Amino acid sequence: MRPSIEDSSSAVTQTQSYHWRIAGFYFFYYAFIGMFSPYWSLYLRSLGFDAVEIGMLMSVQPVMRMLAPNLWGWLADHTGKRRLVVQIAASLSALFYLGVFAAKGFWGMLIVLALMSFFWSASMPLVEATTLSYLGGRAARYGRIRSWGSIGFIFSVVGLGYAFDHVAIAWLLWAGLVSELGMLFFSLRLPAVSIEAHHEDHQPIRNIVLQRRVLLFFGACFLMSVAHGPYYTFFSIYLVEHGYAKSSVGGLWALGVISEIAMFFVMPRLARNFGYQRILKASFALAVLRFMLIGWCVDSVLLLLIAQVLHAATFGSYHASSMGLVHELFKGRHQSRGQALFGSLSYGAGGMLGGIVSGPIWQHLGSSMLYTFSASMALFGFFLLQERDLKAG
């Protein structure tokens, strides 16, 4: 058997616990998303951008999540220096983020977000691969480390929601800088983990990707991200236009993520009892219900609360089961690129399309039809998952 390849000079031993180092990176990475997803559209609106421009600018990050991770994943797998690649990406992301303090026009903001996102989007697929390699046979415990990302998201979204009832939205830029520096700090402290050799290492990764079960899985996940594009782009604006205070907006985002955390903690038991495939199918079915509630029941606080609790399924169980399936489908030296491909095709390409079409649908058909579109994308994804068993052989 070929020896394992290490991404640093030493591998993590079984007796050492580096949970806090990985958890810290997740915390600040998702704190950044907690700053960006709910509030960046409000900041862009404060600069005078219209709905189409906001949709385009909010789609820059998904575009880079589609393009950049494959390059970085190839570099990490080719060199075996996964941790170093994360550190370089985190450093350059923080550097280019500084440009948002000067960018006020559309093209300036577009360029700054593109440069920052190119490096920001590189790190998470590699950290996901690091986490799963670190856990080894305990991969079902992934959600418990990943939950620290959800805690960071809540800390950011709730704190900023209350803050923006009292201070200008422009203070958002400083919150983003703190998150960028936090990611950089913990990237320098990630553990070194070994990349275990596998008998599939010799075959090109395209042989795995072109398997029918993998294509169907990626296709369904692409549609789930398309479905979430309107949520991440316009949900905060949607709520504010229906009379919700910014603190309430933050609370509703937080409720969704609290539900997500709870799901992460029960995922090991659910995975043992039902398997990743059944959980994934249920997540898609509940996504249809959730987006219909958001689109047509926004004036009912109770139904909107139920819709946010369903984030436990549409992101929590969906993400954890997807990570488990990617880990089963891509082995050995293909792990980093497998995670990168998943992120690029789902959160990247899907998020980009969902964000881009959100503006025109919102502007010409209205908010209810926008979230009906989301529900229909989740429904199509559900049908794809009925086609065939996704379990790796």
CATH number, position 357:
1.20.1250.20
**What does the radius of gyration of the chain's CA atoms come to, in whole angstroms?**
20
Q: Is residue 364 part of a domain?
A: yes
**What are the distances in angstroms from CA 104 to CA 5, 100, 109, 274?**
46, 8, 6, 50
Whole-angstrom distance, CA of residue 55 vs CA of residue 362: 10
Helix (H) or strand (E) holding 367: helix 367-385
* 195 bridge partner residues: 5
Residue 141 per-residue DSSP state? G
Amino acid 7: pLDDT: 45
Helix axes 19-46, 246-296, angle to 10 degrees: 80
Amino acid 200: pLDDT: 56
Amino acid 393: pLDDT: 44
Q: Is residue 13 part of a domain?
A: no
Burial 269-289 (b: 16+ CB within 10 A, else e): ebbeeeebbebbbbbbebbbb
Show the low-confidence residues of the chain (pLDDT under 70). Answer: 1-17, 136-137, 139-140, 194-202, 332, 387-393
Q: Is residue 3 part of a domain?
A: no
Whole-angstrom distance, CA of residue 91 vs CA of residue 271: 36
**What are the distances in angstroms from CA 19 to CA 24, 25, 252?**
8, 10, 29
The token pair that represents 288 in the structure block: 């249809």
Phi, psi of 16 (to 5 degrees): -95, 140
Q: Are 264 and 316 in contact (CB under 8 A)?
A: yes
Q: Is residue 7 part of a domain?
A: no
Whole-angstrom distance, CA of residue 134 vs CA of residue 27: 18
Helix (H) or strand (E) holding 232: helix 212-241
Amino acid 195: pLDDT: 57
Q: Is residue 82 part of a domain?
A: yes
Amino acid 111: pLDDT: 96
Whole-angstrom distance, CA of residue 147 vs CA of residue 27: 8
Q: Is residue 199 part of a domain?
A: no
Amino acid 364: pLDDT: 93
Helix (H) or strand (E) holding 5: strand 5-6
State the residue range of the domain holding 169: 19-192+204-385
Secondary structure percentages of the chain, helix, strand, coil, to 5 = 80, 0, 20
Q: Is residue 198 part of a domain?
A: no
Amino acid 203: pLDDT: 72
Amino acid 73: pLDDT: 78
**Dihedral, 149, 154, 378, 382 alpha carbons, nearest 10:** 50
The count of domains in the chain is: 1
Pairing of strands 5-6, 194-195: antiparallel
Q: Is residue 98 part of a domain?
A: yes
